[in-house]
Amino acid sequence: MHNRLKTKFLGFEVRSPLVLPAGIMDMSFSALSISTENGAGIVTSKSLTLEPRTGHKGPVVAEFEGGFLNCMGLCNPGIVDGLAEINEFKERSDTPVIVSVFATNVNDFLKLTEFVNTSKGDFLELNLSCPNVFDEFGIPLAASKDEVHKIIKAVKKISELPVIAKLSPNVYDIVSIAKAAESAGADALCMINTVGPGMLIDTKMVKPVLFNKLGGLSGPCIKPIALKLIYQTYSDVNIPIIGMGGVKCGEDAIEMMMAGASIVGVGTAIYYRGIEVFNKINNEIIEFMDENGYENLQEIPKLEKLLM
Amino acid sequence: MHNRLKTKFLGFEVRSPLVLPAGIMDMSFSALSISTENGAGIVTSKSLTLEPRTGHKGPVVAEFEGGFLNCMGLCNPGIVDGLAEINEFKERSDTPVIVSVFATNVNDFLKLTEFVNTSKGDFLELNLSCPNVFDEFGIPLAASKDEVHKIIKAVKKISELPVIAKLSPNVYDIVSIAKAAESAGADALCMINTVGPGMLIDTKMVKPVLFNKLGGLSGPCIKPIALKLIYQTYSDVNIPIIGMGGVKCGEDAIEMMMAGASIVGVGTAIYYRGIEVFNKINNEIIEFMDENGYENLQEIPKLEKLLM
Amino acid sequence: MNKRITLKIAKIKDEIKDIKTFSFKYKLNAKPGQFIMLTDFEGGEKPFSISDCTKDEFSITIKKIGEFTSRLFQKDVGDLVSIRGAFGSSFFISNGKVLLVGGGYAVPTFYFFSKILLESGANITLINGARTKDELLFVEKFGKLGINLINTTDDGTFGEKGTSVDIARKLLVSKLQQNQLVSKPQLGDNSRFHPATAGWKRENVDKFDFIYASGPEMMMKALQGVIGEIEYEFLFERYMKCAIGICGSCTVDPLGIRLCVEGPVLPKKIVEQLTEFGKYHRDASGKRILY
Amino acid sequence: MNKRITLKIAKIKDEIKDIKTFSFKYKLNAKPGQFIMLTDFEGGEKPFSISDCTKDEFSITIKKIGEFTSRLFQKDVGDLVSIRGAFGSSFFISNGKVLLVGGGYAVPTFYFFSKILLESGANITLINGARTKDELLFVEKFGKLGINLINTTDDGTFGEKGTSVDIARKLLVSKLQQNQLVSKPQLGDNSRFHPATAGWKRENVDKFDFIYASGPEMMMKALQGVIGEIEYEFLFERYMKCAIGICGSCTVDPLGIRLCVEGPVLPKKIVEQLTEFGKYHRDASGKRILY
Ligand SMILES: Cc1cc2nc3c(=O)[nH]c(=O)nc-3n(C[C@H](O)[C@H](O)[C@H](O)COP(=O)(O)OP(=O)(O)OC[C@H]3O[C@@H](n4cnc5c(N)ncnc54)[C@H](O)[C@@H]3O)c2cc1C
Ligand SMILES: Cc1cc2nc3c(=O)[nH]c(=O)nc-3n(C[C@H](O)[C@H](O)[C@H](O)COP(=O)(O)OP(=O)(O)OC[C@H]3O[C@@H](n4cnc5c(N)ncnc54)[C@H](O)[C@@H]3O)c2cc1C
Ligand SMILES: Cc1cc2nc3c(=O)[nH]c(=O)nc-3n(C[C@H](O)[C@H](O)[C@H](O)COP(=O)(O)O)c2cc1C
Ligand SMILES: Cc1cc2nc3c(=O)[nH]c(=O)nc-3n(C[C@H](O)[C@H](O)[C@H](O)COP(=O)(O)O)c2cc1C
Ligand code: FES
Ligand code: FES
């Protein structure tokens, strides 16, 4: 990997600013490996829950112009098997791993944290925002700044790893939630999770395309929403942001950084550009730096902080 | 126009279920005409305010994959000149006109209503949701069910035209807002307005692309969000819905109807398919009816009402 | 084509007082008559016609008028600006005998157009008009094209004396009379017409196949009155915001066609139907402004 | 190709007990070895290999196993289902002498493949295996193709007696020995092998250029042991959810390649690296399930 792509994130030196986000090509140690081999600098596990989950029945993905709906339903092998995969990955790779976990209450988050403490993971990410389990769990945690604060505060007390809060875009006031996370001790923010949710209908069969009816939006079309929320948040917090949502090319990644992201997630774009997307974007970032006279990522300016 | 496209909306017989939405190609009588000549069944005026507004400085539109951001900033010639254009249109056409008006408080909405009462418009639409004037006006009215109820109730008392409430998609609980509108006497709902807002950055100049920084999302990529909100609302209210958001082809319009829309708006698609888009979609709707054995629009089934 | 591209200003040329040509190294692929939207992201995005466009370069020629253009005039070579386009309709490429009638900052687009017309073998007469010598644009550039160039000033300080329309009337009315057309244009004062001094050959302007105009709307309105039956296209300007045909700012009455999509170049059969032509246009709010 | 299309079932054919072929009138443009995702929107969307694909029709052959396939078996001609695809990698189209080894519901994809192979001039030997006569699939359809068809049953109730791999071993090991290859496969019991009764000509099977397998994973694992140095491709099955390469359900260890994109057909050089091959696969939650 090119030296000019090196960056620091929470004390780790990473060889590329590109992150494999939670839930995308990360169910097994080998899935994590292939992203790193293709240029990702950090990888995130699927959001793990205490018990295994088979997820929603299919169809679980649906394409539309500009993106995808998904309602995977947090399928995962459970924290024990999930961490085993992560440990197996870490035996083969020194790429930092973010362990994503999902729960609906403080107690379960604490139990998950204890498991993660025993693993070889490098960061703990709290998925506070999964919109695909509304039915089951009600309003997402990430919509309540008090809940967010409470959970992070509790987790931070026992976590041996830096804690990242993954925020939902589907809230009125992202800044107050981000600040709640920061003041509770979160070491970084990850934003955004999927947008919406949305729905599509099969007009011949008069049925929702997704069996779960609703799915979160990801892919290129959510980029403007991600940029807005990241920019807004960056102006008001002092912890680093993992920016994601619709990044598909080098310019998109640069946009994220200018909006305030320290490192950048690339998820759905794997569909559009293949698993090689990480290296492609790495190269495009270097081209951008060449064309615009930046020596390294640290020189890439942030957008002026402005009132929204 | 084909007989099979005829439908009823609030007592009016319209020759096509397609509506020109507020803010799109509707600043003048002749702009309204060209959409009707190209197959729109109902046209909506630009949202009119008491005083003329020149709108935001440019750039006011920005394209991304799957849609557009816009921050027109409610530019309009003001209620007096705006209604003059509508009257001029009505002298030449019997196509029903929805007069869209925008204000930020009950008093101004009432003043606008009095003006509209004296016009040749056929419906009064209250734009409660413009997201492009957040800075100026704070949280959109449409996010508060009490505000929505209060405004509609007051307007209904004096309006001589049926009243349509245009709702914002950017709310937690669309159903409670829709119900508030219904219980206040709204005759129909129009949904959705633009999504977000979002932002794009010019990476070479490190500047927001839109001078207003933020703009609402429209176009194909917001369709899943529109369908979800319309479906959810349709299950819980008994007034008709004008469905819009990303409709680009006949199948999209059918999806809207199956989700619960009585008639369907087509806005941004004018960019993608030309002003002829209305006739193109009309034809595609007929093709769809042919292929699937529906005689007329009334036969097109709604999705089963289901709990979300 | 709505892709946005941010470019360095490659060249700035002072043309006359308050008019500069800005050039960019970029393969724009524009057609003559089309325009771009230009912004510096400091407030305002404005339409400008393309005054030259080669395989890898293009230019726009801008008059300093208000806030936006004034800010533009402070920019230097190497500064960045951002464009979208090219947008809109373009001039019909005739290969016959054509008359181009231009005035003010709208003339330079005829430079790009003339080059394309020459390629297609057209015989070009261009009336390049201004109020006074200091306001005449592109005199040298047009001169080098080898077309029948008629420079004209209202006050006679350079070239012919008279307005562009005065000159056009001389050329066209004689022709109209030859053809014994029914329409009876008002002739006005032809005394300022001195073909001998113009460097343009009388025999070439006998019969025009096509007339094009780009200039102040009242100039085009007056021109329309002397054209008779000849085919023509006029380049119109209206307030533009989106340039992609959705906002409706630029529609013209009573047809509702959009000058950013169906225009800015409109053919005779459309122009003849425009009730607002020469009467009013609309401002940024959509309010009518009388000419 | 991720476009969703909703189609009427055009034909349903009972093949054997619990296996039916569903045909659709649609120009799928699939390649042999590829699969589609099928749903009825009643819960579940599942991958099925394409068993035939002509210019305007395609078929899938389905075994009733669980909830989804049982519901499918209740559908009638004219009922609607919805598909995405075709997805995934496809078999290399050889024009040489090829051996196809199939077992169970995974055999029918070789019908589509054989037709394409014949077009390219390949010489095909197909081992069509099942446990017993009633479970043999496509005997007639394969018979009509004019290929070297070796039907075989574990219990000898039809065709050869023995597993597909037993038959393959006979064909390949003799060849291997002829070529004096180094690898020493375990021969096992060859006594069930009666070439005389097979309707297949000894001389045709001397030297294969390419071997393809589609069937239970343990069959392919055993087959791998007798292949030696010959090039091969195997069709794999793993739990699939998105089929577009983002969810990660279908990746195989230790390479992390996705069977819905880089598979389901994998070449020798990949298969040889798979540590999970014949050992485990993953369920809907991603948990490992041992074979
Ligand atoms: C198709 C087209 C081609 C044009 N080509 C050229 C050109 O080649 N060279 C050139 O100098 N000018 C051209 N113009 C005019 C140019 O866009 C305006 O001069 C410029 O926008 C003025 O901006 P400002 O902020 O400096 O002035 P302001 O003070 O904002 O406006 C002065 C006047 O300029 C016009 N104007 C302002 N904004 C717009 C707008 N968004 N769209 C249209 N007109 C506007 C109005 O008539 C206004 O009264 C063209 C306009 C159009 C529509
Ligand atoms: C590439 C590929 C091609 C296939 N081709 C065929 C074919 O041509 N004909 C055929 O009958 N079957 C085929 N299958 C298997 C078929 O998908 C399963 O039999 C079917 O999904 C069973 O669903 P069910 O609900 O009836 O059974 P369940 O009770 O849900 O499952 C029974 C078993 O089927 C398998 N299975 C279930 N769901 C999936 C899934 N989403 N993805 C993969 N495997 C699953 C699992 O091994 C599971 O244990 C193929 C599978 C793959 C991966
Ligand atoms: C198929 C799929 C599964 C996902 N699963 C998870 C998950 O388990 N946990 C989580 O925090 N985010 C999950 N996400 C959200 C992504 O991590 C990411 O935030 C989002 O997709 C936006 O990025 P993108 O547009 O680059 O895909 C998932 C997204 C997709 C498309
Ligand atoms: C350029 C533009 C201007 C708009 N102006 C208004 C407006 O003045 N009032 C309003 O209620 N909605 C306005 N809208 C929203 C549209 O009426 C419509 O709700 C939205 O664009 C979704 O439909 P679409 O995807 O078909 O464009 C505007 C949308 C666009 C793109
Ligand atoms: S400028 Fe918006 S329609 Fe022409
Ligand atoms: S099924 Fe999702 S990656 Fe293959």
Q: Which of D2, D39, D45, D246 to mutate to test the pocket of ligand 6 (most atoms within 8 A of CB)?
A: D246
Mutate to test the pocket of ligand 1, among C12, C20, C53, C65 (most ligand atoms within 8 A of CB): C65
Q: How far apart are CA D76 and CA D72, in angstroms?
A: 9
* Neighbouring chains to C with at least 3 Cβ pairs closer than 8 Å: B
Residues D259-278: b if buried by 16+ CB within 10 A, e if exposed: bbbbbbbbebebbeebebbb
Q: Do C285 and B23 touch (CB under 8 A)?
A: no
Q: Where are any strands of DSSP class E within A10-146? A: 12-14, 18-20, 42-44, 61-64, 67-70, 97-102, 123-127
Query: Which residues line the pocket of ligand 6, CB cutoff 6 A?
Result: D 240-243, 245-250, 258, 260
CB contact under 8 A, A29 and D284: no
Sequential DSSP letters for chain D? ---EEEEE--EEEEEETTEEEEEE-S-----TT-EEEEE-SSS-EEEEEEEEE-SS-EEEEEE--SHHHHHHHT--TT-EEEEEEEES-------SEEEEEEEGGGSTHHHHHHHHHHHTT-EEEEEEEESSGGG--SHHHHHHTTSEEEEEETT-SSSEES-HHHHHHHHHHHHHHHTT-S--------TT--GGGGT--GGGGS--SEEEEES-HHHHHHHHHHHTTSEEEEE-----SSSSSSS-TTEETTTTEETTTT-SEEEHHHHTT-SSTTTEEE-TTS-EEE-
CB contact under 8 A, B61 and C244: yes
Decide whether any atom of ligand 2 lies within 6 Å of the D65 Cβ: yes
Exposure b/e, B117-149, CB count within 10 A at least 16 = b: eebebbbbbbbbbbbbbbeebeebbbbbbebbb
Q: What is the pLDDT of residue B145?
A: 85
- Within-domain flag for B267: yes
CA B180, CA B174: separation in Å to the nearest integer?
10
pLDDT at position C206 is: 56
Q: Specify if A307 maps to a domain.
A: no
**B189-218: string of b/e by CB count within 10 Å (b at 16+)?**
bbbbbbbbbbbbbbbbbbbbbbbbbbbbbb
Is the Cβ–Cβ distance between A210 and A200 less than 8 Å?
yes
Q: What is the H or E stretch that residue B138 is in?
A: none
- Report residue A305's pLDDT band, with 50, 70 and 90 as the boundaries: confident
- Quote the tokens at residue A145: 């700044």
Q: Which residue is closest in CA terms to ligand 4's atom 5?
A: B23
Predicted TM-score of the model (pTM) = 0.94
Q: How many structural domains are present in chain B?
A: 1
Per-residue model confidence as pLDDT tens digits over A111-145: 999 999 999 999 999 998 755 444 454 466 667 88
pLDDT of residue A124: 98
Residues with CB under 6 A from ligand 4: B 21-24, 46-47, 68, 70, 72, 74, 100, 127, 130, 166, 193-194, 218-219, 222, 244-247, 265-269; C 246-247
Two tokens at A216? 């979160």
- How far is the C-alpha of B296 from the C-alpha of B6, rounded, in Å? 8
Band the pLDDT of B307: cuts 50, 70, 90: low
Tell me the CATH class for C97-170+206-235.
alpha beta
Q: What is the rounded distance in angstroms from the CA atom of residue B143 to the CA atom of residue B152?
A: 14
d(CA A267, CA A275): 10
Mean pLDDT of C242-271: 96
- Give the count of Cβ contacts less than 8 A between chain A and B: 139
Q: Which of A130, A190, A221, A249 is catalytic?
A: A130
Query: Would you call D247 exposed, middle or buried from its count of C-beta atoms within 10 A (0-12, 13-18, 19+)?
Result: buried
Shortest-distance ligand to the CA of residue B31: 5
| Mean pLDDT, all residues of chain C | 89
**Among residues A103, A16, A94, A87, which one has the least CA distance to residue A45?**
A87
Q: What is the CATH number of the domain that holds A203?
A: 3.20.20.70
Of D45, D65, D69, the residue with max ligand 2 atoms within 8 A of its CB, to mutate for a pocket test, comes to: D65
- Rg from Cα positions in chain D: 19
| Contact residues for A292 (Cβ-Cβ < 8 A; gap 6+) | B203, B204
D62 lines ligand 2 (CB under 6 A): yes
Q: Is A170 exposed, middle or buried (0-12, 13-18, 19+ CB in 10 A)?
A: buried
Residue C113 pLDDT > 60: yes
State whether the beta carbon of A21 lies less than 6 angstroms from ligand 3.
yes
**Contact status of B72 with chain C (Cβ, < 8 Å):** yes
Residue A103 has pLDDT above 90, yes or no: yes
Domain assignment of residue A218, yes or no: yes
Residues of D in contact with A213 (CB under 8 A): none
**Count of CA atoms in the C-beta half-sphere (13 A) of B261:** 27
Q: Are D231 and D94 in contact (CB under 8 A)?
A: no
D242: tokens are 């998105």
Lowest mean pLDDT among A114-118, A140-144, C76-80, D48-52: A140-144
> Minimum mean pLDDT among B121-135, B196-210, B267-281: which range?
B121-135
Q: Say whether pLDDT at C189 is over 60.
A: no
Q: Is D280 in the pocket of ligand 2 (CB under 6 A)?
A: no
Cα nearest neighbour of D260 on chain A: A271
Tokens encoding D49: 């290999």
- What pLDDT shows up at residue B137? 47
Known active-site residue B130: yes
Sole residue written with tokens 């176009």: B219
| Chains in contact with A, where contact requires at least 3 CB pairs less than 8 Å apart | B, D
Q: What is the mean pLDDT of chain A?
A: 93
Q: Is the peptide bond before B192 cis (omega within 30 degrees of 0)?
A: yes
CB contact under 8 A, C251 and B25: yes
Nearest 5 degrees, angle CA C145-CA C147-CA C150?
A: 115
pLDDT for D261 equals 97
Q: What is the pLDDT of residue C88?
A: 97
Give the residue, D217 or A2, on which the prediction is more confident.
D217
Cis peptide before B259 (omega within 30 of 0): no
* Amino acid residing at B177: I
Asked whether residue A3 carries a pLDDT value surpassing 50, the answer given is yes
Which atom of ligand 3 lies nearest, measured to the CA of A265? 26
pLDDT at B283: 97
Q: Where are the domains of chain D?
A: 5-87, 97-170+206-235
- What is the distance in A from the centroid of ligand 5 to the CA of C283? 12
| E strand segments, B96-191 | 97-102, 123-127, 163-166, 188-191
Of B130, B190, B221, B249, which residue is the catalytic one?
Answer: B130
pLDDT band at residue A73 using 50, 70 and 90 as cut-offs: very high
In this complex, the residue of B23, B75, B268 whose CB is nearest that of residue C284 is: B75
pLDDT, residue B140, reads 62
| Minimal-distance CA residue to ligand 4 atom 15 | B193
CA dist D117 and D127 (Å) reads 15
**C190 pLDDT tier (thresholds 50, 70, 90):** very low
Please tell me the distance from the alpha carbon of residue D27 to that of residue D46, in angstroms, as a whole number.
Answer: 20
CB A21 within 8 Å of CB A267:
yes
β-strand pairing of B263-265 with B18-20? parallel
User: Which residue of chain B comes nearest to A204, CA vs CA?
Assistant: B292
Residue A41, H or E segment: none
**Whether pLDDT at B1 is above 70:** no
Query: Where residue B214 falls among pLDDT bands split at 50, 70, 90?
Result: very high
pLDDT at D85: 94
pLDDT score at A131: 55
Q: Give C46 Cα–ligand 1 centroid separation in angstroms.
A: 6
> Is A292 close to B204, i.e. CB distance below 8 A?
yes
CB contact under 8 A, D44 and A54: no
Residue B308 confidence class, pLDDT cut points 50, 70, 90 = low
Alpha-carbon distances, residue B96 vs B19, B40, B265, D108 (angstroms): 10, 10, 14, 59
How confident is the model at residue D207, as a pLDDT? 84
Which residues is D222 bridged to in the sheet?
none
Residue B139 has pLDDT above 80, yes or no: no
- D237 touches ligand 2 (CB under 6 Å): yes
Q: Which of D250, D255, D285 to mutate to test the pocket of ligand 6 (most atoms within 8 A of CB)?
A: D250
Residue with tokens 């606008």: B112
A34–D255 CB contact, under 8 Å: yes
Dist. CA D284 → ligand 2 center (Å): 11
Q: Are D197 and D180 in contact (CB under 8 A)?
A: no
Asked if residue C251 lies in contact with residue B275, where contact means CB atoms within 8 angstroms, the answer is no
Q: What is the pLDDT of residues D148-200, one digit of tens each?
A: 999 999 999 999 999 999 999 989 886 555 444 333 333 333 333 333 333 33
Parent domain of B224: 3-299
Most confident segment among B163-177, D127-141, D162-176: D127-141
Is the beta carbon of D249 within 6 A of some atom in ligand 2? no
Predicted confidence (pLDDT) at residue C183 exceeds the cutoff of 60: no
How far is ligand 3, taken at its centre, from the CA of residue A170, in Å? 14
Alpha carbons A77 and A28: distance in angstroms, whole number: 9
Distance CA B97, CA D235 (A): 61
Rounded to an integer, the average pLDDT of A288-306 is: 93
Measured in Å, residue D45 CA sits from the centre of ligand 2 at 9
Q: How confident is the model at residue C187 (pLDDT cuts 50, 70, 90)?
A: very low
Mean pLDDT (whole number) for C58-86: 97
Residue D134 main-chain phi, psi, to 5 deg: -65, -15
**In chain C, what percentage of residues exceed pLDDT 70?**
88
Read off the pLDDT of each residue in A170-195 and give the average, rounded to a whole number: 93
- The CATH number of C5-87 is which of 3.30.1490.20, 2.40.30.10, 3.90.180.10, 1.10.10.410? 2.40.30.10
**Average confidence (pLDDT) over C60-64:** 97
Contact (Cβ atoms closer than 8 angstroms) between residue C251 and residue B25: yes
Contact C241, C284 (CB under 8 A): yes
* Whether the predicted pLDDT of A272 surpasses 60: yes
Tell me what percent of the residues of chain C surpass a pLDDT of 90.
84
pLDDT band at B129 (very low <50, low <70, confident <90, very high): confident
- DSSP secondary structure, B22-91, as one string: TTSS-SSHHHHHHHHHTT-SEEEPPPB-SS-B--PPSP-EEEETTEEEE-----B-HHHHHHHHHHHHHH
Mean pLDDT of all residues in D88-106? 95
What ipTM was estimated for this complex?
Answer: 0.93
* pLDDT, mean over chain B: 93
Reference D125, options D159, D150, D142, D108; nearest CA is: D150
> D141, exposed or middle or buried, with CB in 10 Å at 0-12, 13-18, 19+?
middle
What separation in Å is there between the alpha carbon of B159 and the centre of ligand 4? Answer: 24
pLDDT digits (tens, 9 = 90+) for B52-77: 999 999 999 999 999 999 999 999 99
Instruction: Identify the closest residue of chain C to B22 by CA–CA distance.
Output: C247
Q: State what percent of residues in chain A have pLDDT above 90.
A: 87
Mean pLDDT of B118-134: 82
**C259: nearest CA in chain B?**
B31
Count other C-beta atoms under 10 Å from residue C88's C-beta: 27
Query: Residue A28: how many CB atoms within 10 A of its CB?
Result: 30
* Contact status of B60 with chain C (Cβ, < 8 Å): yes
Measured between CA atoms, how close is C44 to chain B, in angstroms?
Answer: 4
Element (H, E) at A187: none
The mean per-residue pLDDT over the stretch B261-275 comes to: 98
**Chain C residues in contact with chain B using a Cβ-Cβ cutoff of 8 Å:** 2-4, 6, 37, 39-46, 80, 82, 241-249, 251-258, 261, 282-288
For residue C196, the model assigns a pLDDT of 33
Instruction: Give the alpha-carbon dihedral of B217, B219, B220, B226, to 10 degrees.
Output: 60
- C237 CB near ligand 1 (under 6 Å): yes
Please name the helix (run of DSSP H) or strand (run of DSSP E) that holds residue A152, with its range, or none. Answer: helix A145-158
Summarised one tens digit per residue, pLDDT across range D192-233 is 333 333 333 334 345 899 999 999 999 999 999 999 889 999
Smallest-distance ligand from the CA of C265: 1
Question: How far is the centre of ligand 4, averaged over its atoms, from the C-alpha of A238 (Å)?
Answer: 36
Could you tell me which chain C residue has the CA closest to the CA of B70? C242
Q: Which residue on chain D is closest to A58 by alpha carbon?
A: D44
